[in-house]
Structure 1
């Protein structure tokens, strides 16, 4: 998203991106649900994949989990410098 963080790695690219725009999510009453955007919407996607990786690799260190996140991310057809050019291949 053009409004979000654009932290780049040493090569000037994004290592990992998660969906964070137009996410249908829970919301306090009376609305119950709402479509939201932002890092607060992207973070739960990554946290869910981290939980799956921790279950699959119970002895892994945080660094190993981070490496696995990047290793298993798949490329989309978008240019690599675009935010959102990676997609997680959850275990």
Structure 2
């Protein structure tokens, strides 16, 4: 393994991490799409012909975080309107 290549890869990943943190925490350039509550707000911005959505939601029961993430990412989940049902 080339030590210089490893160093460049580490630098690149550090830059990517900073960009991800900035994207995750900033609403600059985003417009309000819908405020569901004080703990649940959706934003959007347009880049070219693409709409990019950002959804900030405060998890009320942090002990159930993994369960909630699994439910949201479940491709077999059934949606009725904007609700997930079992």
Identify whether the pair has TM-score above 0.5, normalized to the shorter chain.
Answer: no
> Shorter-chain TM-score category?
under 0.3
More helix by share: 2
TM score, norm. by length of structure 1 = 0.24
